[in-house]
Amino acid sequence: MNTRILILFVAATTLMLTGCKSSKTLTPEQMGNKEIELPCSGYDRDSEEYFTGMGIGENTNMQNARLAALNAAKSMINAKIGGLAKGLSTDYVRTQSGAAQQDDVQRLAEREIVQVIERVLNDAEQTCEKMYQTSNGTYQSHIAIRISKKELANKMATALSDDQKLEGMFHRDQFRKWAEEY
């Protein structure tokens, strides 16, 4: 009986010690993954001065690949500043208009801000472009763009102050301060 208990004790101890063995963390490469270095990488990081975006497009037509990459880069920036624009207009309108006017004023402000964002994105500065022809004959384009945060805030302030309905309650300098702090 003691032999059985001793064997069970040794087996349990062995199982416990092998179960506690340190498990090694596998690197992505050890798991079969391969890191891919993206062209234009590094140009797509936002800074205090700029919103940035990078896009990749592939097509059998070189110009269509380029256009797809540019649109993807614009979409990336738009996604970053979309929430900012909504939050900015909501916060600003709440402090500037009465409760009865808030919804109308906010819709007008958001519409103006969205139009400004579209215009600024169309004039975005291109910071990197790389074009490749793949082994299957298609073209792959990588494009990075950026827009100035200060310029965006100024253009939003100008657009809001130019709107007749918003002009009476709009304070351009205060809005610029809000936008630059956001």
pTM over 0.85: no
Q: Tokens for 107?
A: 């819709």
Q: What is the pLDDT of residues 6-59, one digit of tens each?
A: 565 556 666 565 555 556 787 777 777 877 788 888 887 889 899 999 999 999
Averaged pLDDT of the chain: 78
Half-sphere exposure of residue 113: CA atoms within 13 angstroms, side-chain side:
24
Give CA–CA dist 7/1, Å, rounded. Answer: 10
